[in-house]
Every structure is written in C-alpha cells, then in structure tokens.
Amino acid sequence: MKATINVRVNGEDRQVEIDTRMIVAEMLRERLRLTGVHIGCATGNCGACTVFLDGRTVKSCCVLAADVDGAEITTVEALGSGPDDLHPIQESFVQNQGLQCGFCTPGMILAAKALLEANPDPTEDEIRHGISGNLCRCTGYHFIVQSIQDAARRLNGGGGQTAAS
C-alpha cells in the first residue's frame, strides 16, 4: 500500500512516498537515491545497511520504512560530499586501505563513527567489538581495524598516518 512519511534524512526534512512493503534501506536507496546504504543480506547479519536512526546505529534492512515516520536518519552520504571532502574516518579508510571490494565500507564507517563518538580512544579489542555487527566478506578486518585506529588519532587531533607504501 502507498503511504507518505515525513523523515529527516542527513539534516534535511523530506516527505517520502513509500510502499508499506519497503524496508528503510530500500526507501533510502530507491526513493532518496542514497545508494551508500548497501543491502547485503536483508536478514540483519551483515551490517552493510547500517544507518543512524534517531542517533543510534541500526540495520536499516530490519526496519520497515513505514515505521520511521517522524524519525531522523543519517547515512554515510552525510559524512563527506566527495573525494575532496572526506570525513576523517573516510580519509583513514582510504589511507589505510581499509577496504577491498568496498561493499561493507559504508556500514563499517558508520559503525566506526558510533564507536568513536562513544569511545574516542578505543583499544583494538574495543574496535573489534564495535564492528562486530558488520561483516567484511573479503575478511579485510586487519586493515579496517587499523583504519579505525588511525581515524581515532585524526579525530583526537593527532594527525593521520600517511599511506603505507
């Protein structure tokens, strides 16, 4: 069934025509063209569809679009506008090769953002725990963890690590 919802997405109030069969990830991708929201499994396992919903990370494949009327959503698109305007976490992922195929990356970056907001100087264990809801099927976890460690340094004003050669 058709429905209209009001939702604040990346700081902008939007009125969105949805179908009640849509999940939030589909609404964001297909109605708002926010294709940084990736759908990996649609069962809440992989975390590629992670977004902030009212300030907390959720898996947007497990929330019905009709159920976010009045809510506020932040996707990876809110972090940086392009290659010349990257968020420090994105910059760290680039510089540390924190991605291989890149499919899990938007979810990893938002999980990292939530982690670093709550814990600006996490240990390696805390980082691994912080991304435990996100799967990288390239299994590139080592560089993802390094990227988040580097992001913490950047966000804490310590300067970034230059690209490893």
Helix axes 88-95, 105-118, angle to 10 degrees: 120
Distance CA 89, CA 119 (A): 14
* Closest CB 160 distance from another protein, rounded Å: 25
3 strand-pairing partners: 18
* Closest CB 5 distance from another protein, rounded Å: 10
Phi, psi of 129 (to 5 degrees): -65, -40
Cβ-based nearer residue to another protein, 89 or 95: 89
Find all residues with CB under 8 Å of 85, minimum gap 6, and list them.
none
* Closest CB 135 distance from another protein, rounded Å: 9
E strand or H helix at 117: helix 105-118
* Closest CB 136 distance from another protein, rounded Å: 14
* Closest CB 142 distance from another protein, rounded Å: 17
Give the residue among 25, 29, 28, 16 at the shortest CA–CA distance from 47. 25
Distance CA 142, CA 120 (A): 19
Cβ-based nearer residue to another protein, 62 or 86: 62
Footprint of another protein (CB under 8 A): 1, 3, 19-23, 26, 42-44, 47, 50, 53, 56-59, 61-64, 66-67, 69-70, 111, 114, 129-130, 132-133
Cβ-based nearer residue to another protein, 49 or 95: 49
Cβ-based nearer residue to another protein, 95 or 104: 104
Cβ-based nearer residue to another protein, 46 or 95: 46
Distance CA 121, CA 116 (A): 7
